């Protein structure tokens, strides 16, 4: 059995990243509605089947994050999703948080799901999951230290439980890009958030060499007319990461957060190009995108069996572009 560090390192192996296909039943149902597909359990299954059976996916994808519903489902050929992913050279992971709820006396949310998590993790591990994901969602404007602390604390308790169970935690504190705030706000809030997250991980005894960090890039609010370009995104993102992330963390896999595939890949390429000559950026820098990989496939498919090939080609193209954007990460400074 590979250890936590080996699995974490394999998830961020050169040229490969993580496919986030773990939308909750509610979110996935909305996305299916959006393309005119009935939001049934079997249509959610069929869509994830399409994603996982994309020919050649393992060239670019190291791991796939599944929802609990999908973990209990099978491909059309009868093989369970986790076993089918492993057989394709793709590590199966599982989203274990239970979503967000309002945090009292703030305008913020905190992520739920710690109760009973130890027992659930044992079940997920038995079902084949080798890594997990927990997402904290932080709206940057008006965010209070209390909200940052509550979310960082929950992430750390989740991560400790995962490592105790022999499962690699993906630690995802997402500072949302929705809104018209300037890039400075994203930078300040992400810096504070990551600092709090790593303080809490340390306090909970989490081994940083056995996690993957899944942060947002430092970007302008999506409704801000003044959008920072890729060079600025890269400079600010690496500055925040080098301020806050221990060098022993093997890899950082960014979420896409609502960016298009083109935007997210341009930013990831600029981050990697800059990191290649930056001593303060020793980690592998890759992707754990959801929408930036799958949106084109979902729209191309739209529930029509004859469109599966086209949809799979769209997913493959998006994954290949994301993989190419990590190219200079294959030789990070200091290795």
233 contributes a contact to ligand 13P by CB under 6 A: no
Q: How far apart are CA 318 and CA 325, in angstroms?
A: 11
The nearer residue to ligand 13P, 172 or 187, going by C-beta atoms, is 172
**138 exposed, middle or buried (CB, 10 Å; 0-12, 13-18, 19+)?**
buried
Q: How far apart are CA 21 and CA 33, in angstroms?
A: 17
Q: In angstroms, what is the minimal distance from the CB of 270 to ligand 13P?
A: 18
Distant-in-sequence, close-in-space partners of 268: CB < 8 Å, separation ≥ 6: 217, 254, 285, 286, 287, 322, 325, 326
215 contributes a contact to ligand 13P by CB under 6 A: no
Site string for ligand 13P, 118-147 (x = CB under 6 A): -----------------x------------
Q: Interface with ligand 13P by CB under 6 A: which range of 3-11, 25-33, 283-291, 309-317?
A: 283-291
212 contributes a contact to ligand 13P by CB under 6 A: no
SS3 85: helix
Nearest CA to 94 out of 56, 52, 123, 58 is that of 123
Q: In angstroms, what is the minimal distance from the CB of 72 to ligand 13P?
A: 20
- Of 140, 208, 290, 332, the one binding ligand 13P (CB under 6 A) is 290
Q: Give the residue ranges of DSSP H helices in the chain.
A: 4-11, 25-34, 41-52, 68-71, 81-87, 117-126, 145-164, 183-203, 230-244, 261-275, 291-301, 308-324
Q: In angstroms, what is the minimal distance from the CB of 333 to ligand 13P?
A: 27
Q: How far apart are CA 208 and CA 251, in angstroms?
A: 10
Out of 30, 95, 133, 214, which one is annotated catalytic? Answer: 214
Q: How far apart are CA 257 and CA 97, in angstroms?
A: 18
292 contributes a contact to ligand 13P by CB under 6 A: yes
Site string for ligand 13P, 15-34 (x = CB under 6 A): -----x--------------
Q: Interface with ligand 13P by CB under 6 A: which range of 140-148, 186-194, 202-210, 290-298?
A: 290-298
- Of 62, 67, 163, 256, the one binding ligand 13P (CB under 6 A) is 256
- Of 60, 81, 131, 289, the one binding ligand 13P (CB under 6 A) is 289
Distant-in-sequence, close-in-space partners of 59: CB < 8 Å, separation ≥ 6: 15, 16, 320, 323
CA-to-CA separations, 327 to 211, 291, 292, 323, in angstroms, rounded: 22, 21, 18, 7
Q: In angstroms, what is the minimal distance from the CB of 331 to ligand 13P?
A: 26
Nearest CA to 93 out of 212, 207, 216 is that of 212
- For 172, list phi and psi in degrees, rounded to 5: -120, 95
Q: Is residue 95 among the annotated active site residues? A: no
The nearer residue to ligand 13P, 233 or 278, going by C-beta atoms, is 233
Q: In angstroms, what is the minimal distance from the CB of 162 to ligand 13P?
A: 16
291 contributes a contact to ligand 13P by CB under 6 A: yes
284 contributes a contact to ligand 13P by CB under 6 A: no
Catalytic residues: 214
Q: Using CB under 6 A as the criterion, which residues of the chain lie in contact with ligand 13P when the complex forms?
A: 20, 135, 172, 255-257, 289-292
């Amino acid at each position: 059995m590979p250890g936590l560090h080996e699995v974490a390192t394999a998830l961020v192996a050169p040229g490969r990243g993580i496919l986030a296909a773990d939308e909750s039943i509610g979110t996935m149902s909305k996305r299916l509605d959006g393309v005119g597909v009935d939001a049934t359990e079997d249509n959610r299954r069929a869509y994830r089947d399409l994603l996982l059976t994309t020919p050649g996916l393992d060239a670019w994808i190291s791991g796939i994050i599944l929802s609990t519903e999908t973990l209990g489902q099978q491909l059309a050929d009868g093989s369970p999703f986790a076993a089918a992913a492993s057989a394709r050279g793709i590590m199966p992971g599982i989203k274990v948080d239970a979503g967000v709820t309002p945090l009292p006396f703030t305008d913020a949310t905190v992520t739920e799901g710690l109760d009973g998590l130890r027992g659930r993790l044992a079940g997920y591990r038995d079902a084949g999951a080798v890594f997990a994901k927990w997402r904290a969602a932080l709206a940057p404007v008006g965010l209070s230290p209390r909200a940052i602390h509550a979310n960082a604390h929950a992430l750390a308790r989740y991560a400790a439980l995962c490592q105790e169970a022999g499962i690699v935690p993906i630690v995802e504190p997402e500072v949302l890009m929705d809104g018209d705030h300037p890039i400075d706000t994203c930078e300040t809030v992400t810096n504070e958030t990551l600092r709090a997250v790593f303080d809490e991980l340390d306090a909970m005894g989490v081994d940083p060499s056995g996690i993957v960090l899944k942060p947002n890039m430092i970007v302008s609010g999506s409704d801000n007319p003044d959008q920072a370009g890729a060079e600025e995104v890269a400079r600010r993102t690496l500055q925040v990461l080098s301020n806050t992330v221990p060098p022993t963390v093997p890899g950082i896999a960014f979420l896409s957060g609502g960016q298009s595939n083109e935007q997210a890949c341009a930013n990831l390429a600029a981050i990697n190009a800059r990191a290649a000559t930056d001593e303060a950026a020793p980690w592998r820098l890759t992707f754990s995108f959801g929408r930036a990989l799958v949106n084109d496939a979902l729209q191309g498919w739209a529930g029509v069996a004859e469109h599966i090939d086209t949809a799979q080609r769209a997913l493959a193209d998006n994954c290949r572009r994301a993989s190419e954007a990590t190219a200079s990460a294959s030789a990070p400074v200091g290795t």
